[in-house]
């Protein structure tokens, strides 16, 4: 949950500390644990307490001895700072390639292979190209905002802290819960998607239930329990396989279009016949409505571009940068390569989606009965269609390959989609567990005992407990095994509603992050003179005065227009695009898919606010007009960044308890 720090919490005058980059260095050796002695230089000899406590909710007084207990002030040695216990920290083992591949693995998932067919069926080829392009642009703009935040503060629970510090603390907690829900439910949804891919081979319910819904999730949990180094390696391998798989699929689509299949040369035949802007009349009233709803469907494909925020704490510092004392060094704070990830990942994914989408729409007619439709529209397959023209797949790419009659091609693409879905599920489990860990690791006290249990790590410093709780929605895939499940049943609608809720929740988080960045940007502009005059805030001089040293890590592109367009785009998707299917006629699954997440998020925010501030609820946002208040918030974010990470030289004890961390 969002930290509620104050000067009283720290029991020390923060103005007495030297917060310059060169001063904020820890001792080079030893294992970080509660009560480690950290050398924070240049503390004045005022009669202030010299013990700090970790930022938390309900955390009692520091157990470390201070001047209040000793009866006198010690100004001769280094001050003592209470940092997080070893079992509430993680290791920085991820390199830039790991961060990039984790992000690629999260965003380059089943959305391309499965959702693109649904978009094609609803709005035709134009909807595919426009929807993926517009949502790709929105994802890029959102990542510009998040990326600049992360360049400054790569911290655990980053998305929570940014909203908490610059918008509202209770909203930050609600954002963290929504973000955890997004990836937790998507983990289950991707397992269902992988099982659905196997339907092409008709393995039977027993195989799906045993292998897909039990063995595969268990294997992913075990794999993630052995340390972030192993996880990072698997993501590099998985991301490489997924990129190779996309290249193979695109090459196959090109070959089919040029005449490798049974139909011969296809070219633009499917574009020449039929209306200019086709749409499914059973789903929407006009092409405009189809286009809007295509935005909502395509949003699922871009969920994951924000995963950089979840990996920030476990990413290695940039060891190749110069010493922070070098005036030519423009990046004095350890940060991951968010510039590349924020700027190029969404663009590269859009290029892949655009090329693959246009090739799929060239090879298969938009109204082909095999293309997947929304669950409340019933089965798309025409009953009197010959069996050799029915293909049990929801992917337009598999259907196109099957129609080409090239031996083994449909099986190859099915295998690519299956591997993609499994690796994407692995990534979603990682993000969900780190989000829950960030929410709960600073909770202490009797009232938080249950949640604090999930804020600890095992001896590999992996949040295994949070990982297990993130499997909470694994009951959902078992609904898929019901004998009453079909494309037009309540069970199928429930599965679709839950999957869509994850996408909507992610857009809600995006909107909140853009709002936080808008307030941060305007705050930096308002207090630019004070920040330029403060040497300890040299790294926060976004609006640098001429002649002052520029240590700001990275300025995102197109600001301030980018941040406002990003927020408006998120609100448009949530308010208009998601509900466009209701314009045709009312259907409960449509309404729940569009608005259930929002209807849950707002009461969640208000409920947290009432619970935390019962009797003294402040119905206002964080005050960013007062520089003293802003200064405290900025220093708290720096403190979280400094105190949250374990030392790299921890030695693991042998034993089975390293795997689970329950002991």
Domain ranges of the chain: 1-83, 88-317+333-544+554-643
Q: Is the pLDDT of residue 329 over 50?
A: no
Q: Report the pLDDT value the prediction gives residue 585, as an integer from 0 to 100.
A: 81
Per-residue model confidence as pLDDT tens digits over 219-263: 999 888 887 778 888 888 998 999 999 999 999 999 999 998 888
Report the pLDDT value the prediction gives residue 92, as an integer from 0 to 100. 64
The yes-or-no verdict on residue 317 having pLDDT over 80 is: no
Q: Which of 20-34, 182-196, 379-393 has the lowest mean pLDDT?
A: 20-34
Q: What is the pLDDT of residue 657?
A: 43
- Cβ atoms 521, 559 nearer than 8 A: yes
d(CA 79, CA 41): 9
pLDDT given at position 91: 63
pLDDT over threshold 90, residue 628: yes
Q: 3-class SS at 541?
A: coil
**491 sits in which H/E element:** helix 490-526
Q: Which of 300-309, 311-320, 417-426, 647-656 has the highest mean pLDDT?
A: 417-426
Which residue from 234, 181, 630, 140 is spatially nearest to 426, judged by alpha carbons? 234
Mean pLDDT of 56-70: 35
Q: How high does pLDDT run on average in the chain?
A: 77
Q: Can you give the pLDDT at residue 270?
A: 84
Which contacts (CB < 8 Å, 24+ apart) does range 626-631 have? 627/527, 627/530, 630/523, 630/527, 631/534, 631/537
Alpha carbon 305 to chain centroid distance? 7
CA distance 180 to 174: 10
Give the dihedral of Cα atoms 487, 493, 498, 503; nearest 10 deg: 70
Dihedral over Cα of 634, 636, 642, 646: its sign: negative
What is the C-alpha separation between 253 and 246, in angstroms, rounded? 11
Structure tokens at 144: 């510009």
Q: Which CATH superfamily is domain 88-317+333-544+554-643 in?
A: Amino acid/polyamine transporter I (1.20.1740.10)
- The better pLDDT of the pair 231, 20 is held by 231
Of residues 330 and 663, more confidently modeled: 330
Q: Mean of the pLDDT values across residues 486-490?
A: 59
Residue 652 neighbours by CB under 8 Å, 6+ apart:
459, 460, 658
DSSP code per residue over 551-609: ------TTTTHHHHHHHHHHHHIIIIITTGGGGT---HHHHHHHHHHHHHHHHHHHHHH
| Other beta carbons less than 10 A from residue 511's beta carbon | 20
Residue 357 has pLDDT above 50, yes or no: yes
Give the closest residue to 261 by CA, choosing from 92, 408, 459: 408
State the pLDDT at residue 316.
66
Q: Which of 274-288, 460-474, 481-495 has the lowest mean pLDDT?
A: 481-495
Residue 52 parent element (H or E): strand 51-52
Are 146 and 159 a contacting pair, CB within 8 Å? yes
- What backbone torsions phi and psi does residue 443 show, to the nearest 5 degrees? -85, 130
- CA proximity to 294, closest of 357, 209, 200: 357
Residue whose entry in the numeric block shows the structure tokens 């909507």: 504
Say which residues have a Cβ less than 8 Å from residue 659's Cβ, sequence separation at least 6.
222, 225, 226, 458, 460, 464
Q: Which of 441-450, 466-475, 491-500 has the lowest mean pLDDT?
A: 491-500
Radius of gyration from C-alpha coordinates of the chain: 26
The model's confidence at residue 389, banded by pLDDT at 50, 70 and 90, is low
pLDDT, mean of residues 492-500: 72
Q: Of the given ranges (212-221, 426-435, 522-531, 588-597), which has the lowest mean pLDDT?
A: 588-597
Which is nearest to 303 in space by CA: 133, 581, 26, 509? 509
- In this model, does residue 501 exceed pLDDT 60? yes
Mean pLDDT on 374-395: 59
Q: What value does the mean pLDDT take over residues 500-516? A: 94
Contact, 571 vs 513, CB < 8 A? no
Instruction: Give 626: exposed, middle or buried? Use CB within 10 Å, 0-12, 13-18, 19+.
Output: exposed
pLDDT at 547 over 90: no
Write phi, then psi, for 120 (nearest 5 degrees).
-60, -40
pLDDT score recorded for residue 337: 64
pLDDT of the residue at 622: 94
Ramachandran angles phi, psi of 80, nearest 5°: -105, 125
Rounded CA-CA distance 455/441 in Å is 4
440 contacts 451 by C-beta, under 8 angstroms: yes
pLDDT tens sequence across 297-316: 888 889 888 888 777 666 66
Rounded percentage of the chain residues whose pLDDT exceeds 70: 74
Residue 346 reports pLDDT greater than 60: yes
Query: Mind listing the pLDDT tens digit for each residue in 129-157?
Result: 999 999 999 999 999 999 999 888 888 78
Average pLDDT over residues 503-531: 95
> Does the pLDDT at position 119 exceed 60?
yes
Q: What is the pTM of this model?
A: 0.81
The answer on pLDDT for 73 being more than 90 is: no
Task: Give the residue from 353, 485, 436 showing the smallest Cα distance to 187.
Answer: 436
Q: Helix %, strand %, coil % for the chain, to 5? A: 60, 0, 35
**Residue 75 pLDDT:** 37
Residue with the larger pLDDT of the pair 365 and 56: 365
> Which residues lie below 8 Å from residue 66, measured CB to CB, with a gap of 6+?
11, 49, 50, 51, 80
Q: Say yes or no to pLDDT of 104 above 90.
A: no
Using the Cα atoms of residue 269, residue 272, residue 275 and residue 276 in order, give the sign of their dihedral.
Answer: positive
DSSP string over 376-427: GG---S-TTS-GGG----S-HHHHHHHHHT-TTHHHHHHHHHHHHHHHHHHH
Contacts of 620 by beta carbon, 8 Å cutoff, 6+ apart: none
Angle at alpha carbon of residue 307, lines to 466 and 223, rounded to 5°: 45
What pLDDT score does 580 carry?
86
Confidence at residue 326, expressed as pLDDT on a 0 to 100 scale: 43
């Amino acid at each position: 949950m969002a930290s509620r720090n104050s000067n009283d919490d720290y029991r020390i005058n923060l103005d007495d500390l030297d917060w310059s980059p060169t001063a904020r260095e820890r001792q080079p050796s030893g294992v970080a644990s509660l009560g480690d002695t950290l050398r924070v230089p240049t503390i004045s000899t005022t009669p202030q307490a010299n013990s700090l406590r970790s930022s938390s909710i309900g955390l009692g007084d520091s157990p470390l001895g201070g001047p209040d207990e000793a009866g006198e002030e010690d100004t001769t040695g280094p001050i003592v700072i209470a940092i997080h216990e070893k079992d509430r920290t993680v290791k920085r083992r991820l390199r830039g390639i790991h961060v990039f591949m984790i992000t690629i693995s999260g965003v380059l998932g089943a959305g391309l292979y499965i959702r693109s067919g649904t978009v094609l069926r609803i709005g035709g080829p134009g909807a595919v190209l426009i929807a993926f392009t517009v949502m790709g642009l929105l994802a890029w703009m959102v990542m510009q905002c998040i990326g600049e935040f992360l360049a400054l503060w790569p911290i655990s629970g980053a998305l929570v802290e940014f909203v908490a510090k610059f918008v509202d603390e209770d909203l930050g907690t609600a954002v963290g819960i929504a973000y955890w829900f997004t990836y937790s439910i998507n983990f289950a949804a991707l397992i269902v998607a992988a099982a659905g891919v196997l339907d092409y081979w008709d393995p039977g319910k027993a195989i799906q239930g045993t292998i897909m819904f039990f063995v595969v999730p268990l294997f992913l949990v075990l794999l993630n329990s052995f340390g972030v180094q192993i996880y990072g390696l698997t993501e590099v391998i998985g991301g490489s396989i997924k990129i190779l798989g996309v290249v193979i699929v695109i090459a196959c689509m090109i070959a089919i279009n040029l005449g490798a299949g049974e139909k011969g040369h296809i070219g633009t035949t499917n574009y020449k016949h039929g209306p200019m802007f086709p749409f499914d009349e059973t789903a929407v009233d006009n092409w405009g409505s189809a286009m809007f709803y295509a935005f909502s469907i395509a949003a699922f494909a871009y969920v994951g571009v924000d995963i950089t925020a979840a990996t920030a704490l476990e990413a290695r510092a940039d060891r190749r940068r110069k010493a922070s004392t070098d005036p030519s060094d423009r990046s004095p704070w350890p940060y991951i390569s968010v510039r590349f990830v924020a700027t190029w990942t969404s663009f590269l994914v859009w290029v892949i989606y655009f090329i693959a989408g246009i090739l799929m729409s060239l090879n298969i007619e938009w109204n082909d009965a095999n293309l997947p439709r929304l669950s409340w529209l019933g089965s798309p397959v025409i009953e009197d269609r010959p069996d050799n023209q029915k293909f049990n797949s929801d992917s337009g790419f598999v259907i196109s390959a099957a129609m080409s009659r090239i031996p083994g091609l449909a099986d190859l693409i099915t295998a690519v989609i299956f591997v993609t879905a499994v690796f994407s599920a692995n990534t979603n489990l990682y993000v969900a567990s780190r989000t829950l860990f960030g929410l709960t690791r600073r909770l202490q006290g009797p009232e938080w005992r249950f949640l604090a249990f999930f804020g600890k790590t095992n001896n590999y410093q992996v949040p295994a407990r949070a990982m297990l709780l993130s499997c909470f929605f694994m009951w959902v895939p078992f609904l898929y095994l019901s004998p009453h499940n079909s494309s037009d049943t309540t069970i199928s609608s429930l599965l679709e509603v839950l999957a869509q809720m994850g996408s909507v929740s992610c857009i809600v988080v995006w909107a909140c992050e853009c709002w936080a960045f808008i307030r941060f940007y305007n705050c930096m502009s308002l207090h630019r003179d004070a920040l330029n005059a403060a040497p300890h805030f040299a790294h926060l001089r976004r609006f640098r005065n001429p002649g002052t040293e520029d240590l700001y890590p990275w300025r995102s592109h197109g600001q301030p227009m980018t941040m406002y367009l990003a927020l408006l785009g998120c609100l448009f998707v949530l308010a208009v695009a998601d509900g466009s299917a209701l314009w045709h006629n009312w259907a409960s699954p449509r309404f729940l898919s569009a608005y259930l997440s929002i209807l849950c998020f707002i009461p969640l925010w208000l409920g947290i606010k009432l619970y935390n501030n019962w009797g003294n609820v402040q119905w206002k946002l964080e005050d960013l007009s007062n520089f003293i208040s802003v200064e405290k918030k900025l220093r708290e974010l720096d403190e979280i960044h400094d105190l949250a990470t374990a030392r790299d030289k921890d030695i693991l004890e042998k034993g089975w308890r390293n795997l689970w961390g329950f002991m």
